[in-house]
């Protein structure tokens, strides 16, 4: 669905600036339809599912109405669970990042009440909470509901299903009668209707028209991938089946920038398109993509609009779209003109629900695939080199190098060794060595439909910021690797290890050695990258000393090694 830009919705500049920083390029349909009437003070009923961008749809007008100079509760957001309350409060902080003096707090059951009391007393203006605990605060007098201007019910149907009817009734009845109320619900049922009738004031009903669409020839699948492993998994998929042309769709400009940078650092011919790219640059990128000089285009939905290229054989949903219609548009870029096409989506945690609604919308089954292992990728890469080699031999298009080869044969090297060494060199020269991901270390998978835990939520905002990188230690070693530009997670320090692929070392051996020798807690290691002559290992800052000390006399593949804080390329 085409939506107008955020700047046309009537939002104040402070919020537009925060949206720009987050890299949201345009409103999702529920945002475009809810924000203008909500800003006009109307009551709303928004029928929309998780993943549609509904949180920003109600948070933005709520923040626009809030007076940061007043230190009392003005906006109340009711959520069914503690997880959702925390998540919504995080979005409030992200979208309100440019509002000086904003004070928002989550309030939920199962947590000590003291801290919540302090937060409420110290001037919270926006309160996000679960009905039971909020009612508790209302009764104790610690939550002042008398000046609430706007009440929002997030996932109203779920709150009723969870048996919060009485609490919601009591809370809503305690609010000023002239307040504005926004009801958000995935479904409409008699319970939700009753709530709306009792507590709404002729609300406008907003429902996103979703005509089911079928997507025919495209083979659709998904991989369960954590945010931090997305680039590694993407590289593995690309290496298993190198596409002629592929498009990677991201939801934000920031995500496009980061993904492109990571791919270029890994040696792929990738370039990007998003709303901040000038028209002149856009044309240049598209020409290079059409010509095949750029094999992988990373883009937002808006930037890819109107793109009509037939030879695209794979489309990635690096971020799952908020609008199922965008999914259909995205994957429609492949499988054109009778060609076969493939659409791959990356999904994690709660996003599985969004995938299910896409399946319903497209009336198609999106099958789960397993992430290829480093070994499978290595094997496949060798196969591809041998395929090329065979083609060369058959076409006769190669130089003979007779003298050099004869010399090696005279020195006693067999033809098999010479060929093997050459293929190894070609493989290494591609500079695309895989790094470990958590999925490699924990092969056992969760069931697809299992309800995700809070820790499993995609960590969209945990992306490492370049400026947050730990200071490098000047005493550490320097190396010849091209890839320490790989972003480092905050809280992690990158260590240099003086052994690499040519020493036959594998990522899982480094992991084993570190847990064994340094006694690290399970699952704490970050990214491991193998280079021909060295490796880089991301270790939580607090364990750096422990790792360096305890591995001093350790061996890997029978060899002693040096381990120190990495200083980057010489
Ligand atoms: P929600 O439906 O509110 O759970 O949002 C789903 C995801 O979409 C969240 O990760 C949001 O940060 C993200 N999101 C919300 N609005 C936009 C937008 N206009 N553009 C890109 N991402 C968005």
- Contact call for residues 557 and 512 (beta carbons, < 8 A): no
pLDDT in tens, 18-71: 999 999 999 999 999 999 999 999 999 999 877 789 999 999 999 999 999 999
Q: Tell me, what's the pLDDT at 480?
A: 41
Residue 28 CA: nearest ligand 1 atom is 19
> Residue ranges per domain, the chain?
6-207, 218-368, 374-429, 492-565
147-156, 206-215, 479-488, 491-500, range with the lowest pLDDT: 479-488
Residue 87 CA: nearest ligand 1 atom is 4
Tell me the CA end-to-end span of the chain in Å, nearest whole number.
Answer: 50
* Residue located nearest, by CA, to atom 11 of ligand 1: 53
Calculate how far, in angstroms, residue 184's C-alpha sits from the geometric centre of ligand 1: 15
Judged by DSSP in three states, 536 sits in strand
Class of domain 492-565: alpha beta
Under the banding of pLDDT at 50, 70 and 90, the label for residue 455 is very low
Q: What distance in Å separates the CA atoms of residue 67 and residue 56, rounded to the nearest whole number?
A: 18
Q: What is the mean pLDDT of residues 95-104?
A: 96
Residue 24 CA: nearest ligand 1 atom is 20
Most confident of 73-87, 200-214, 292-306, 548-562: 73-87
Calculate how far, in angstroms, residue 251's C-alpha sits from the geometric centre of ligand 1: 8
Q: Tell me, what's the pLDDT at 438?
A: 67
**Ligand 1 pocket test: which of 16, 56, 463 has the largest number of ligand atoms within 8 Å of its C-beta?**
56
DSSP codes joined into one string, 235-268: HHHHHHS--SEEEEE-SBHHHHHHHHHHHHHTT-
Q: Tell me, what's the pLDDT at 461?
A: 33
Calculate how far, in angstroms, residue 468's C-alpha sits from the geometric centre of ligand 1: 24
Under the banding of pLDDT at 50, 70 and 90, the label for residue 318 is very high
Q: Tell me, what's the pLDDT at 337?
A: 62
11-25, 90-104, 116-130, 450-464, range with the lowest pLDDT: 450-464
**Ligand 1 pocket test: which of 90, 322, 324, 459 has the largest number of ligand atoms within 8 Å of its C-beta?**
322
- Contact call for residues 537 and 525 (beta carbons, < 8 A): yes
Calculate how far, in angstroms, residue 252's C-alpha sits from the geometric centre of ligand 1: 9
Please give the DSSP secondary-structure letter assigned to residue 148: -
Residue 26 CA: nearest ligand 1 atom is 19
Q: What is the mean pLDDT of residues 242-254?
A: 94
Calculate how far, in angstroms, residue 465's C-alpha sits from the geometric centre of ligand 1: 20
Beta bridge pairs of residue 536: 496, 529
pLDDT in tens, 390-440: 989 999 888 889 999 999 999 999 999 999 899 888 877 765 666 777 666
* Residue located nearest, by CA, to atom 19 of ligand 1: 27
Q: What is the mean pLDDT of residues 133-161?
A: 95
* Residue located nearest, by CA, to atom 21 of ligand 1: 24
What predicted TM-score, i.e. pTM, was given to this entire model?
0.60
Under the banding of pLDDT at 50, 70 and 90, the label for residue 183 is very high
* Residue located nearest, by CA, to atom 16 of ligand 1: 53
Q: Tell me, what's the pLDDT at 151?
A: 98
Mean pLDDT, all residues of the chain: 85
Calculate how far, in angstroms, residue 268's C-alpha sits from the geometric centre of ligand 1: 29
6-207 and 218-368 in the same fold: yes
Percent of the chain with pLDDT over 90: 50
Could you tell me the two tokens for 105? 């707090």
- Whether 145 has a pLDDT exceeding 70, the answer reads yes
Under the banding of pLDDT at 50, 70 and 90, the label for residue 209 is low
- Express the helix, strand and coil content of the chain in percent, nearest 5 each: 40, 15, 40
Q: Are strands 528-530 and 563-565 parallel, antiparallel or unpaired?
A: unpaired
Query: How many residues belong to the chain?
Result: 570
Q: Tell me, what's the pLDDT at 465?
A: 31
88-122 burial code (b ≥16 CB/10 A, e <16): bbbbbebbbebbeebbbbbbbeeeeeeebeebbee
pLDDT in tens, 494-553: 999 988 887 888 887 888 888 888 888 777 888 888 887 888 998 988 889 889 988 888
Calculate how far, in angstroms, residue 506's C-alpha sits from the geometric centre of ligand 1: 38
Q: What is the mean pLDDT of residues 234-262?
A: 94
Calculate how far, in angstroms, residue 202's C-alpha sits from the geometric centre of ligand 1: 28
Calculate how far, in angstroms, residue 507's C-alpha sits from the geometric centre of ligand 1: 35
**Ligand 1 pocket test: which of 29, 53, 154 has the largest number of ligand atoms within 8 Å of its C-beta?**
53
Calculate how far, in angstroms, residue 216's C-alpha sits from the geometric centre of ligand 1: 27
Beta-carbon count within 10 A of 334 CB: 26
Q: Are strands 75-78 and 563-565 parallel, antiparallel or unpaired?
A: unpaired
Give phi and psi for 194, each to the nearest 5: -60, -45
- Whether 442 has a pLDDT exceeding 70, the answer reads no
Calculate how far, in angstroms, residue 418's C-alpha sits from the geometric centre of ligand 1: 54
Q: What is the mean pLDDT of residues 198-215?
A: 79
Of 133, 165, 137, 171, the closest CA to residue 152 belongs to: 171
Q: What is the mean pLDDT of residues 134-146?
A: 94
**Ligand 1 pocket test: which of 50, 55, 91 has the largest number of ligand atoms within 8 Å of its C-beta?**
55
Residue 252 CA: nearest ligand 1 atom is 21
Calculate how far, in angstroms, residue 320's C-alpha sits from the geometric centre of ligand 1: 10
Residue of 468 and 200 predicted with greater confidence: 200
**CATH tag, 218-368:** 3.40.50.300
Max Cα–Cα distance, the chain, nearest Å:
96
Residues with CB under 6 A from ligand 1: 24, 27-28, 31, 50-56, 251-252, 322, 460
Q: What distance in Å separates the CA atoms of residue 488 and residue 496, rounded to the nearest whole number?
A: 13
- Whether 459 has a pLDDT exceeding 60, the answer reads no
Could you tell me the two tokens for 314? 């794979």
- Whether 567 has a pLDDT exceeding 90, the answer reads no
Under the banding of pLDDT at 50, 70 and 90, the label for residue 107 is very high
Q: Are strands 535-540 and 492-497 parallel, antiparallel or unpaired?
A: antiparallel
CATH superfamily of 6-207: P-loop containing nucleotide triphosphate hydrolases (3.40.50.300)
Under the banding of pLDDT at 50, 70 and 90, the label for residue 483 is very low
93-102, 225-234, 256-265, 487-496, range with the lowest pLDDT: 487-496
């Amino acid at each position: 669905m085409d939506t107008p830009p955020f700047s046309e919705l009537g939002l104040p500049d402070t919020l537009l600036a925060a949206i720009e920083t987050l890299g949201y390029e345009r409103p999702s349909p529920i945002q475009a339809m809810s924000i203008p009437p909500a800003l006009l003070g109307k009551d709303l009923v928004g029928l929309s599912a998780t993943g549609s961008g509904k949180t920003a749809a109600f948070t933005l007008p709520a923040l626009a109405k809030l007076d940061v100079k007043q230190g009392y509760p003005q906006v109340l957001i009711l959520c069914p669970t503690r997880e959702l309350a925390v998540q919504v409060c995080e979005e409030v902080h992200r979208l309100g990042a440019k509002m000086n003096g904003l004070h928002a707090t989550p309030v939920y059951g199962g947590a000590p009440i003291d801290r919540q009391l302090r937060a409420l007393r110290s001037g919270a203006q926006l309160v996000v909470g679960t009905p039971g605990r909020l009612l508790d605060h209302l009764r104790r007098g610690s939550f002042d509901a008398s000046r609430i201007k706007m009440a929002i019910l997030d996932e109203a149907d779920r709150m009723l299903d969870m048996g919060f009817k009485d609490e919601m009734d009591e809370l809503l009845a305690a609010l000023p009668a002239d307040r504005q109320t926004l009801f958000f619900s995935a479904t409409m049922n008699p319970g939700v209707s009753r709530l709306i009738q009792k507590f709404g004031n002729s609300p406008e009903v907003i429902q996103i028209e979703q005509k089911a669409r079928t997507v025919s020839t495209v083979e659709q699948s998904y991989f369960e991938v954590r945010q931090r492993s997305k680039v590694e998994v993407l590289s593995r998929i690309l290496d298993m089946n190198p596409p002629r042309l592929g498009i990677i769709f991201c939801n934000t400009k920031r995500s496009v920038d980061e993904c492109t940078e990571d791919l270029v650092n890994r040696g792929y011919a990738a370039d990007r398109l998003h709303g901040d790219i000038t028209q002149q640059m856009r044309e240049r990128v598209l020409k290079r993509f059409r010509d095949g000089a750029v094999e992988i285009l990373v883009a937002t939905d808006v930037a890819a609009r109107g793109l009509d290229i037939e030879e695209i054989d794979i489309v990635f949903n690096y971020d799952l779209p908020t609008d199922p219609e965008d999914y259909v548009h995205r994957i429609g870029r492949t499988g054109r003109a009778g060609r076969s096409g493939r659409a791959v989506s990356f999904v994690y945690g709660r996003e599985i629900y969004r995938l299910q609604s896409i399946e319903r919308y497209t009336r198609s089954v999106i099958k789960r695939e397993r992430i290829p292992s480093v070994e499978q990728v290595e094997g496949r890469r060798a196969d591809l080199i041998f395929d090329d080699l065979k083609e060369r031999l058959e076409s006769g298009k190669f130089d003979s190098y007779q003298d050099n080869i004869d010399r090696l044969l005279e020195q006693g090297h067999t033809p098999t060794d010479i060929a093997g060494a050459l293929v190894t060199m070609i493989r290494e020269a591609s500079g695309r060595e895989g790094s470990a991901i958590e999925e490699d270390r924990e092969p056992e998978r969760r069931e697809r439909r299992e309800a995700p835990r809070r820790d499993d939520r995609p960590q969209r905002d945990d992306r490492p910021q370049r400026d947050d990188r730990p200071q490098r230690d000047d005493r550490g070693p320097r190396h010849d690797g091209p890839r320490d530009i790989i972003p480092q997670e905050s809280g992690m320090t990158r260590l240099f290890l003086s052994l690499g692929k040519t020493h036959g070392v594998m990522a899982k051996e480094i992991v084993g050695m570190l847990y064994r020798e340094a006694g690290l807690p399970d699952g704490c290691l970050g990214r491991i990258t193998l280079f021909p002559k060295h490796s880089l290992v991301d270790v939580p800052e607090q364990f750096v000393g422990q790792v360096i000390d305890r591995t001093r006399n350790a061996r890997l593949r029978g060899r002693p090694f040096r381990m120190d804080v990495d200083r980057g390329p010489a």
